[in-house]
Amino acid sequence: MSDHGPAQVDLIRRYARAMREMQADALRARSPRAGTSRSAEDRATRQAAKRFTKLHRDLPGSGGAATPAS
């Protein structure tokens, strides 16, 4: 297989840099800010997510119970 040309090498480098920047942005967005408390909106979102997953778990046919094939 032949070596990559200069345009391909440049594209590979730019792609790798873009992926690193996106990962760093995602990690920064997910990490809690130092010295700040969680807001009421964050708490409400977590509680709603818990209720949703509990309701989903309690539905018949979801989760561990096997459903009959049609």
**Residue 14 forms part of a structural domain:** yes
Q: How many domains does the chain have?
A: 1
**Residue 7 forms part of a structural domain:** yes
**Residue 52 forms part of a structural domain:** no
What range does the domain containing 18 cover?
A: 1-30
Average pLDDT for the chain: 78
Q: What is the enclosing helix (H) or strand (E) of 29? A: helix 6-30
Tens digits of residue pLDDT in 11-36: 999 999 999 999 999 988 887 766 66
Is the model's pLDDT at 47 over the cut of 80?
Answer: yes
pLDDT, residue 1, reads 58
Torsion of the alpha carbons at 9, 13, 18 and 23, rounded to the nearest 10: 130
- Cα three-residue angle 23-24-28, rounded to 5 degrees: 115
